[in-house]
Structure 1
Amino acid sequence: MNRQTPLPSRNWVKRAEPIEGIERIEACFHGNAYAMHRHDTYAIGRTLAGVQSFNYRRSQRDSLPGNTLVLHPDEAHDGQAGTDEGFQYRMIYVEPALFQDALGGRELPFLEGGVTSDPRLAAATSTLLQNVGYTIEPLEQSNALAELAHALAAVAGTPVRRPKGDFLAARRAREYLHANCARIVTLDELEAVTSRDRWSLSNDFRLFFGTSPYRYLTMRRLDAVRRMLLAGTSLAHAAAAAGFADQSHMTRHFAKAFGLTPGRWLQIAGA
């Protein structure tokens, strides 16, 4: 993108057609975009124009056009324009389980800095970071995710050997939580489903999927809320249907996960 081309004056977010386990967006913001928040997916993107600034792991990071961003699951971050020009970017949000399909139970790759110019990641993200209007075919997506998973592991220096932990137990817990996310799930249930004690299972889950079982459950509820809001469901009805105690309970979790209130998110995403 030509950086001399002025960016639109309004903030906007464009979303691609949903794909299981992955979300693709393109957005433009001026000033402050997102408050501090954290989600349970990888956030991997490319700055297209302007300076994309964010606080991440105790430091401010600045991404310039062409840089690749890699934010690890459950790491707090915010987002704002580094200059008065504003910034434009594309981002994909990938469930760690999709990378585990390729890594087969290896430790999740972690890039410390959050911003990189490594050509391996630039190449590996080229398919998934195309214009949101581009339709990615299923086989194309699977191949691109595998390439990205291995590129992340190579750049991060992730050991080839599998770490200690029960990957199958963690995967069973994830599948159970996914199927029962609209109701309260107890630790006793997870122990019974996985034949793993709660403390070991919590460690396994974080090791292989980057977050805790409760955070995973909460994020699936919030995913449901976002789908319902885009379909025109009221905040109160969406909160109840997704399994939250009430609207205020949902709103608190929503802001912590996405850095925006539900109403503000809908105003931008639904425009």
Structure 2
Amino acid sequence: MQGVPGQFEHPADTAQFRHPPHRAGIELYRAHIVRHAFELHCHDGFGLGAIESGVERFRYRGAEHLAPPGSLVTMNAAELHTGSAETAGGWRYRMIYIDPALVAHISGEPGWWFDEAVCMDGIGTRKVTALLDALWQADEPLAFDSLLATLLDRFRAHARVPRPAPAQAAMRFAPVIDYLHAHLADRPNLDQLAAVAGLSPFHFLRQFRAQHHATPQQMLMALRLARAKRLLDAGEPPARVAAATGLSDQAHLTRAFARRYGVTPARYQRQVGAGQP
């Protein structure tokens, strides 16, 4: 990966993103990761993909998961998760990140939800891998959209529709998440967040960790980087993105972005053609 400033520890680690120019709300991703360990992060859309080889270990919704070859990965939107290799040769995989509203539009069924993060489906995984590869190669909008509908048909068998009602605890902390979204460029403290939740500071901290399996600071950083990714998609210069998301400078953005998404902001923008007509 010549020209990429040391975001990976191993020369075999590669990650690529692609956006279809005609269809908003979709990000295609393919990678081979050997040593890089992704820090807690989130994506705006569902994370749907297939493990081609090797085994991935990731933390998601408070539990450790292993995704071996022949498995599908089904993550709900905006859920914090990590990622690292469980096998010496790393793991190779393909993903699509897709806006839930677009899934509802294509399928005609709002409220998709996935109970299981890993689904064993050897034949289905091979078909999903082939579809994701075909989507990456598709250069005609009609062909792309037809493949996309077929791909979602494959994942429909693993989805729970409609989504179950959120737990009361999740609803209680929703205003805190909204507050964090509104103050990404600020430095909110524990007392401020606890006041939003109507709890004493450390009681709030304990309850928040129990609900989200992350500290408020980890959640804040994940939201900052997710917002940074959207701004980079829109073609904003990295220095301006850093300032808008509460990061100290462009170097801080570069380090934090690479730790969570596997590429530098500049390389990400080149891959997805950010800012191009």
Q: Is 1:92 matched with 2:96?
A: yes
Q: Which amino acid aligns with 2:62?
A: R
Q: Which amino acid aligns with 1:27?
A: A
Alignment of 1:214-253 (within 5 A): 219=226, 222-226=229-233, 228=235, 233=237, 235-239=238-242, 244=244, 246-248=246-248
> Residues of 2 paired with 1:115 and 1:75: CA distance?
14
Number of aligned pairs? 205
> Residues of 2 paired with 1:253 and 1:156: CA distance?
35
Give the Å deviation of 1:264: 5.6
Alignment of 1:170-209 (within 5 A): none
Give the Å deviation of 1:93: 0.8
Contact residue 39 and residue 75 of structure 1 kept, 8 A:
yes
Say which of 115, 128, 131 aligns to 1:125.
Answer: 128
Contact residue 45 and residue 70 of structure 1 kept, 8 A:
yes
Say which of 52, 61, 68 aligns to 1:64.
Answer: 68
> Residues of 1 paired with 2:76 and 2:35: CA distance?
24
> Residues of 1 paired with 2:103 and 2:251: CA distance?
29
- Identity, % of aligned pairs? 27
Contact residue 34 and residue 79 of structure 1 kept, 8 A:
yes
Say which of 64, 83, 87 aligns to 1:83.
Answer: 87
- Which residue of 1 is the match for residue 110 of structure 2? 106
Q: Which amino acid aligns with 1:43?
A: G
- Quick one: structure 1 residues 250 and 42, their matched pair in 2 at CA, closer, same or farther if it must change by over 3 Å? farther
Contact residue 109 and residue 161 of structure 2 kept, 8 A:
no
> Residues of 1 paired with 2:61 and 2:31: CA distance?
23
Contact residue 70 and residue 126 of structure 2 kept, 8 A:
no
> Residues of 1 paired with 2:52 and 2:28: CA distance?
15
Q: CA RMSD in A?
A: 4.1
Alignment of 1:31-42 (within 5 A): 31-42=35-46
TM-score by length of 2: 0.58
Q: Which amino acid aligns with 2:240?
A: H
Contact residue 71 and residue 122 of structure 2 kept, 8 A:
no
Q: Which amino acid aligns with 1:138?
A: P
Unpaired segments of 5 or more residues in structure 1? 1-7, 165-183, 185-214
Q: Which amino acid aligns with 1:98?
A: L
Contact residue 222 and residue 254 of structure 1 kept, 8 A:
no
- Quick one: structure 1 residues 49 and 9, their matched pair in 2 at CA, closer, same or farther if it must change by over 3 Å? farther
> Residues of 2 paired with 1:261 and 1:118: CA distance?
28
- Quick one: structure 1 residues 153 and 252, their matched pair in 2 at CA, closer, same or farther if it must change by over 3 Å? farther
TM-score by length of 1: 0.59
Unpaired segments of 5 or more residues in structure 2? 1-9, 166-183, 185-221, 272-277
1:50-74, Cα deviation, whole Å (9 max, x unpaired): 1111111222211122211111112
